[in-house]
């Protein structure tokens, strides 16, 4: 599980990051709304925590941009503003929850975990694209009456692609999601596993293919000639 926290109060951000890490939850921290929107677009988070009052772009503006980019990641607002109108505005523009400062650490962790479960429930146990079905419990790719097993790395890549149909998954995002920020994986690692996956997709059929966008990343396509 990975969470993005955006709050210009660096002491509070450091405290929240440590609280989540004690609960085995990985975190990235930024300190303005501009970076929050950019990080949300560049990586695959399970939850985004936004302060309302931030420099460069406030939390409401950042969320509007995040939703405009078709990013459906659950969002929790943090704010010292407790007026009902502010909460309503945040929820109306696409937030999933609103927590007023000050708050108890236990409540913050509980809300983070509850919201992250919404994302997991939303994706379901089977992802579909065209004639392909990815079984998230069995690590199996199916099409028609055929199926083929995937390795752990192949599964992570396929899950990322099938969770982002209609968009290009950048190489940087793929490497971060599959191997992690601190890993020494290089672009050719991704190319090798994409090659493996193409062969397995061809083996089961389904009429789909992984399309390479030169210098950018990858996307699923219904055109097997890509």
**Rounded to an integer, what distance in angstroms lies between the CA atom of residue 217 and that of residue 103?**
41
Q: What is the CATH number of domain 2-123?
A: 3.40.50.2300
H/E run at residue 65: helix 59-68
What residue segments make up the domains of the chain, in order of their start?
Answer: 2-123, 126-221
Helices (H), 57-101: 59-68, 84-92
pLDDT at 72: 76
Same fold for the domain at 2-123 and the one at 126-221? no
Q: Which fold has domain 126-221?
A: Arc Repressor Mutant, subunit A (1.10.10)
pLDDT tens, position by position, 41-61: 888 788 999 998 999 999 899
* pTM (predicted TM-score): 0.56
* Helix and strand counts by DSSP (H, E) for the chain: 8, 12
DSSP string, 25-36: -EEEEESSHHHH
Q: What is the pLDDT along the chain (226 residues), one digit of tens a residue?
A: 789 999 999 999 999 999 999 888 889 999 999 999 999 988 878 899 999 899 999 989 999 998 888 787 888 998 877 667 777 777 777 888 888 888 899 999 988 888 876 654 444 578 888 888 998 878 899 998 899 998 888 988 999 999 888 889 998 888 887 876 555 555 677 889 999 999 999 999 878 899 999 889 999 988 644 4
């Amino acid at each position: 599980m990975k969470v993005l926290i955006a709050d210009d109060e660096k002491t509070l951000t450091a405290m929240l990051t440590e609280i989540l890490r004690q609960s085995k939850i990985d975190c990235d921290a930024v300190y303005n709304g501009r970076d929050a929107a950019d990080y949300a677009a560049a990586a695959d988070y399970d939850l985004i925590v936004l302060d309302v009052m931030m420099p460069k772009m406030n939390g409401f503006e950042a969320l509007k941009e995040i939703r405009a980019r078709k990013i459906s990641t659950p969002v929790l607002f943090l704010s010292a503003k407790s007026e009902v109108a502010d909460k309503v505005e945040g929820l109306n523009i696409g937030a999933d929850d609103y927590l007023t400062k000050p708050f108890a650490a236990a409540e913050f962790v509980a809300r983070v975990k509850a919201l992250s479960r919404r994302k997991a429930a939303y994706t379901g146990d089977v992802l579909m694209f065209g004639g392909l079905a990815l079984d998230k419990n069995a690590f199996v790719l199916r099409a028609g009456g055929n199926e083929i097993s995937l390795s752990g790395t192949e599964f992570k890549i396929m899950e990322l692609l099938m969770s982002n149909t209609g968009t290009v998954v950048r190489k940087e995002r793929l490497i971060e999601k599959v191997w992690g920020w601190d890993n020494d994986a290089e672009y050719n690692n991704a190319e090798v596993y994409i090659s493996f996956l193409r062969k397995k997709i061809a083996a089961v059929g389904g009429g789909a293919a992984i399309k390479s966008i030169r210098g950018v990343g990858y996307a699923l396509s219904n055109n097997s000639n890509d």
